[in-house]
Amino acid sequence: MNTSPADTELLRAERDGPILHLRLNRPLKRNAVNDGLILAIDRAFSALSADVRCVLLSGEGQHFCAGLDLSELSERGVYEGVLHSRMWHATLDKLQYAPVPVVAVLHGAVIGGGLEIAAAAHIRVAERSAYYGLPEGQRGIFVGGGGSMRLPRLMGVSRMGDMMLTGRVFDAEEGQQVGLSNYLVGEGEGLARGLALAQKICGNAPLSNFSVIQALPRIAEMAPSEGLFVESLVAAIAQGDPAAKDRIRAFLEGRAAKVAKQ
């Protein structure tokens, strides 16, 4: 892997072929997110090169991300707080609606804003050390990075409310059961599994990947009749792509593997 010179202090960027690996890099702060780090994430997703096919997101050190760096919060007024939250919204929208899929590898603390970042990814791989919390209720604050929209879609309003009201912490097994992760792996196995998934994703037709991450979440929010119409449009566009025609032809000619239990 080759290290990119951009944002190496707070966000390490490495390339592995078509995969861009971004690492939150404040290990001494458990990768707590300050303004510099959230802006570095924003810049990274604003400047994805055309040859990137998938992004792998992880945290340096013992934790994925322990949330918002509260040392920057205490002096903000209401107006500044609104602008700060909207800055997070803009950044995590760029992550969720990136032109390529994002695979997040979670270990250790996945807390508060860290869980909001993870929720914006398209696939989440959790190691057994991962644990999830939303301590905003105990801090006298509220989620501000889009968690109130994304997390209920993963785990439900009631579970999220429980975490915020009582300080309940989910371990990796519980997080897997309630939908906070897609894959649960052993300690130290997350990056390998995440990389393998990213490589598999890179093998898909780019337009198909784009359709899944851009159209699917929007269709899910539409009324059924509108959603089904948009589905028809996206399906027609995808199947008309030359890459799709080549893959269908390969399947019909016996040159592509059939779906099998893994």
Q: Check the CA dihedral 84-89-95-97 and report its sign.
A: negative
The number of beta carbons lying within 10 Å of the beta carbon of residue 255 is 9
Rounded to whole angstroms, how far apart are CA atoms 124 and 197? 10
* Catalytic entry in 60, 72, 136, 189: 136
The owner of tokens 């570095």 is 40
The string of DSSP letters for 193-211 reads: HHHHHHHHHHTS-HHHHHH
Question: Strand pairing of 131-133 and 170-171?
Answer: antiparallel
* Catalytic entry in 9, 60, 72, 116: 116
Rounded to whole angstroms, how far apart are CA atoms 100 and 205? 11
Expressed in angstroms, the distance from the first to the final Cα of the chain is 29
9 is catalytic: no
72 is catalytic: no
The owner of tokens 């990137």 is 52
Rounded to whole angstroms, how far apart are CA atoms 46 and 11? 14
Rounded to whole angstroms, how far apart are CA atoms 23 and 8? 9
Q: Which residues are catalytically annotated? A: 116, 136
